[in-house]
Amino acid sequence: MRWKGGRRSDNIDDRRGDSPGYASAGAAPLILRFLPAMLRSKTGRFILIAGVLVVFGGRMLGVDVLGPALSGSGAASGGQFQPTQEQQQLADFVAVVLADTEDTWHQLFRLQGKTYKEPTLVLFTGAVNSACGSASAAVGPFYCPGDQQLYIDLSFFRDLSQRHAAPGDFAQAYVIAHEVGHHVQTLLGISQSVRKAGQGQNKAAVNALSVRQELQADCFAGIWGYAANADRRLLDPGDLEEALAAATAIGDDRLQREAGRQVVPDSFTHGSSSQRVKWFKVGFESGRLSDCDTFAADDS
């Protein structure tokens, strides 16, 4: 993929090396809520005074007692993270791919008379807090509609290459574009419609809706690939095959087999390998949003 020299997105929140903190981001409002009652109680006043002394004493000693989530400062390790040259190049690559998705979706939204709101991509290591809760790197890349941000631990790309046998920069770009696809679904109201449709349904029905939503995100990723190739000539020979290998590698049936489990289609939440390949190719070959209606398709 011809990405070097491309524009880098400004919407990167680099939290690599930061700790997600042991204090919940919602703890401060909770403390304020119970503050009046604590002030009326002798024991409560004692706890507050002791807490203040501990916090300020810790600050004087250079210790962030509250943790990053409450103090508003970076985590203890924040600012100390020194990426290797390989790690930084990968972060630069992600920023260029994100910028290119921005260019693509700005254009497509304008054609529909809409305005594209760019998401933020959060880089983290190990674990991260989001509006959707805390998550470890084990969950893989994800999109949180609550804060409209993408989250990725770049070590996932190593797993994609080594554990899932799907190497290559366009395989990595497909992963980013898929998560951006979920952001597009949020902006278009699709995600909200899916959640509403799943209310009161059994698990199999909810899973089926999830599969169609994930496959549409694959199709949207394909649309970005179409634009990157047709409009900006970013793809090298073999890049499409890299993306298809990645789509195959993370199909639900493939992952269930690799885990030594029986393949159970009703338990799928993202789609089979063949489904993911099919819908990425649909978007990649046409570049049209109208072709990505996985919910209306008879056979996803």
- Whether residue 218 is predicted with pLDDT greater than 60 in this model: the reply is yes
Locate 267 and state its tokens: 């338990």
* pLDDT attached to residue 65: 37
Q: For the ranges 65-69, 78-82, 187-191, 260-264, which has the lowest average pLDDT? A: 65-69
- Listing DSSP states for 72-118 in one string gives -SPPTTTTT----HHHHHHHHHHHHHHHHHHHHHHHHHHHTT--PPP
pLDDT for residue 300? 55
CB 231 within 8 A of CB 294: no
C-beta of residue 141 within 8 angstroms of C-beta of residue 126: no
User: Alpha helices, DSSP H only, in the chain?
Assistant: 27-40, 42-60, 68-71, 85-111, 155-162, 169-187, 190-198, 203-230, 239-249, 252-258, 273-286
Between CA 169 and CA 227 the distance in angstroms is 17
Give the pLDDT score at 270.
96
Q: Across the strands, what pairs with 191?
A: none
Q: Could you read off the pLDDT of 25-76 as tens digits, one per residue?
A: 344 443 444 455 545 555 555 555 555 444 444 433 333 333 333 333 333 3
pLDDT greater than 70 at residue 16: yes
Assigned token pair, 110: 């304008």
Is pLDDT larger for residue 128 or for residue 81?
A: 128
Structural domain boundaries in the chain: 27-71, 80-292
pLDDT digits (tens, 9 = 90+) for 87-114: 999 999 999 999 999 999 999 999 999 9
The residue ranking higher by pLDDT, 57 or 232, is: 232
Strand runs (DSSP E) across the chain, as ranges? Answer: 12-14, 120-123, 127-130, 133-136, 142-144, 149-152
Average pLDDT over residues 170-184: 97
The structure tokens listed for 149 are 């941000």
Q: What is the pLDDT of residue 54?
A: 41
User: Which one, of 154, 195, 147, 148, lies nearest residue 176 by Cα?
Assistant: 154
Q: Is the pLDDT of residue 193 over 70?
A: yes
pLDDT at 297: 87
DSSP secondary structure, 282-296, as one string = HHHHH--GGGG-TTT
Task: Return the pLDDT at 249.
Answer: 94
pLDDT given at position 82: 86
**pLDDT higher for 60 or 284?**
284
Phi, psi of 136 (to 5 degrees): -100, 165
